[in-house]
Amino acid sequence: MNKIKDFSPLEDKLEIKFENRDLLTQSFIHRSYLNENPNFYLGHNERLEFLGDAVLELVVTEDLYKKYPDKPEGELTNWRAALVNAKMLSFVAKEIGFNEFLILSQGEKKETGKARQFILADAIEAFIGALYLDQGYNTCQKFIKEYIMKKLPHIIEAGLYKDAKSSFQEKAQEKASITPNYKVIKETGPDHQKHFSIGVFLDKELIAEGKGSSKQEAEEDAAKNALKTKGWK
């Protein structure tokens, strides 16, 4: 089977050499590519993404816990969320140059907006999953610290961790002594192009709904709408 991408430039840039080249390749395969090439010898990257998401969260959590012993859990949670959300991960992936290595369908190659943002974010998580299987925790830790954790000072300085979900939770706990909960109200579209409608509730009361192409995006939209509904700035 001929290679569909030469990942050597990326490995050289990251100073990482994969022993299992198929793991590296698979981490960049979007589901849409297999729709057009169903007999391709590798699967898509979603299982690797599932693994990488957990590794990423553990590394970031451990690093925050050790570096900031005096910070409360709530603040560390907000910082972590700002570091591992799709917007930040896609930004990091673009910086590294992941865009040119994505393995996509012809149709998906033309999509360069928000859909590409989520594909890039998923790819960096899948890459971390592949790296974990190939070289273990310590190599993943080094990669995450070098390319993702270094964004934390800017996040703190610019207040990027103060997302709508965090703000709504703070206000709800302050004013109503209730922690908001989010529920999927509607889910449409094929697996590679899902759209979600999510409601945010205080106890059993629906406060607002939000929409997005990921659950995270829809929850954030719901929280923004809930802040407006309640008049909480």
Which residues are part of the catalytic machinery? 53, 125
146's tokens: 């070098």
List all residues 6 or more positions away from 126 whose beta carbon is below 8 Å from its beta carbon.
26, 27, 28, 45, 46, 48, 49, 52
**Integer Cα distance of 97 and 1 in angstroms:** 25
